[in-house]
Amino acid sequence: MGSLFQMMGLFCFWIFFIFNFGNVVTVVSQSVEEGTVLVDGRVGIASIDDDFICATLDWWPPEKCDYGTCSWGHASLLNLDLYNNLFLNAVKAFSPLKIRLGGTLQDKVIYETGDPQEPCHQFVKNTTNMFGFTNGCLPMWRWDQLNKFFRKAGAVIIFGLNALNGRILASDGSSVGPWDSRNAASLIRYTVNKGYTMYAWELGNELSGNGVGTRVTAAQYASDVIQLHSIVKDIYGGVNEPLIIAPGGFFDANWYKELVDKTPNSLDIVTHHIYNLGPGVDTHLVDKILDPTYLDGEAKTFSSLKNILKSSATSATAWVGEAGGAYNSGHNLVTNAFIFSFWYLDQLGMSSTYNTKTYCRQTLIGGNYGLLNTTTFVPNPDYYSALLWHRLMGRTVLLTSFSGTKKLRAYSHCAKQSQGITLLLINLDGNTTVHIRVTTETTTSVRLRTLKHKHKSTRTRFARVSGGTKSLNAINMREEYHLRAKDGDLYSQTMLLNGKILAVNSFGDIPPLEPINGNPWDPITVDPYSIVFAHIPSIDVPACK
């Protein structure tokens, strides 16, 4: 049964802090509000993959520059240091981490398999070429190195194939003609012969709808997906057969619907990309992250794709195949800073409520928005946000609502590999502390409320926390993980967990993410500009049985 907490009204009072800086006295006011999170524990509203968290590795060479900054360094699939111990530990900490290998240049990569027979040249910057670079090449010795690392790290791999191979660029900027699959088939065959494990093969990158750089019609793309499906079935022979993913592009409802309708038996996962914060030069980037109305805007895409899949004959599921931001050149690297975790975790929470099975972050490393620092491999704040989600948020998504300030975002799932539920609470307000009571609605509580209504009672009943106060012990204590920026600086690249700095040690070990314990009947305190994960094992609801 669930928790017993009276629904509380909203109260607000002000705390005044006085700071004396020389002869200047600054008065800072802070409000305190109360609110209630209602978790409907009767049934789950959606489900996610157990390894929901995913990150990308890209192809960009060091010469790739944006807004006057060349931010990729040695973070490419072709030059990344695979022997860095911190990098290995960062991936292993997820056990497992899904990694999508792909990005803009993937459609210009030739695999050195001998089919076709041609020199293996690396990417060269050339502004007259599509995407600003010549074609590149993946040597098989490098593919061997990558797979050795993935196996050692226990990563789950999705590989993006070169969907522009063989096509002709038309005068209107579109790419026409069928995909030449011979080179991709030779890579797949090589991979199987080497015994490398692939979770999925993905066709193309950002060629849907209007495309980025160029585009392919949905009808042609569907034909190519069917061909890829046939190739995979032929080469694998039904043994450990990877999934087929497409199109890895920006969502266009009509284009996506046509693709899905024409590939009901060939496409396993439908991926779309999200960059809803816009370009890094946008001076309103921070305002967007802290605006709940703006954050809610992406729900339209999740809902539309969910409806397309539901109304189609397909059994395919939805993924976010790539998502991130850019950086704000006006104030440091925002997407390496604490503030970006507000957007990132809200995206994870929102997308999961629409039955999105996996969410791939651009990037694991590289491009000013990596989970890891491009040069040092040290985790950025979002790395720890992702790791906490991975360890705490289970597969079953629960309907969650919050009564109180509009700046408080709330999501809940059944706890991962544990009893109870886990709450994610995000406070976008820098001046308000929120004290949150948690109540759960179950089949029992609905029945009780119906009976009370028949007897014209105005009281509302909610299910109780199992055990009662007399049985309170370490087993049912609430576990809380409070995340804040160091010194309260939203642009800080240092994250605090329960007041302690998260940092790797000299051996490159990822720090333990340890909670503080709290009484499950006490309110959860969410400080200004902070994030809280709260695992409540004492809340036992039918959806989590």
69 Cβ neighbours under 8 A, 6+ residues apart: 327, 329, 368
The answer to whether 408 and 35 have CB atoms below 8 angstroms apart is yes
SS3 assignment, position 544: helix
322 included as an active-site residue: yes
Give the pair of three-digit tokens for residue 464: 């109780």
Burial label, 76 (beta-carbon count in 10 A; 0-12, 13-18, 19+)? buried
**DSSP string over 21-83:** ETTEEEEEEEEEEEEEEEEE-SS-SEE--TT-EEEEE----TT--BTTB---TT-STTT--TT
Report the interhelical angle of 253-262 vs 218-236 (nearest 10°). 40
The answer to whether 240 and 219 have CB atoms below 8 angstroms apart is no
Return d(Cα 509, Cα 143) in angstroms, integer.
27
Residue 232's H or E segment, with its range, is helix 218-236
Return d(Cα 332, Cα 534) in angstroms, integer.
31
The answer to whether 179 and 163 have CB atoms below 8 angstroms apart is yes
Phi, psi of 124 (to 5 degrees): -125, 130
Give the pair of three-digit tokens for residue 385: 């946000």
SS3 assignment, position 332: coil
Out of 33, 34, 202, 206, the active site residue is: 206
Return d(Cα 121, Cα 99) in angstroms, integer.
25
The answer to whether 67 and 23 have CB atoms below 8 angstroms apart is no
SS (H, E, C) 338-389: CCHHHHHHHHHHHHHHCCEEEEEECCCECCCCCCECCCCCCECHHHHHHHHH
Return d(Cα 347, Cα 323) in angstroms, integer.
9
In Å, what is the CA distance from 217 to each residue of 232, 248, 305, 433?
A: 23, 14, 18, 51
479 included as an active-site residue: no
Out of 34, 202, 322, 479, the active site residue is: 322
Catalytic residue IDs: 206, 322
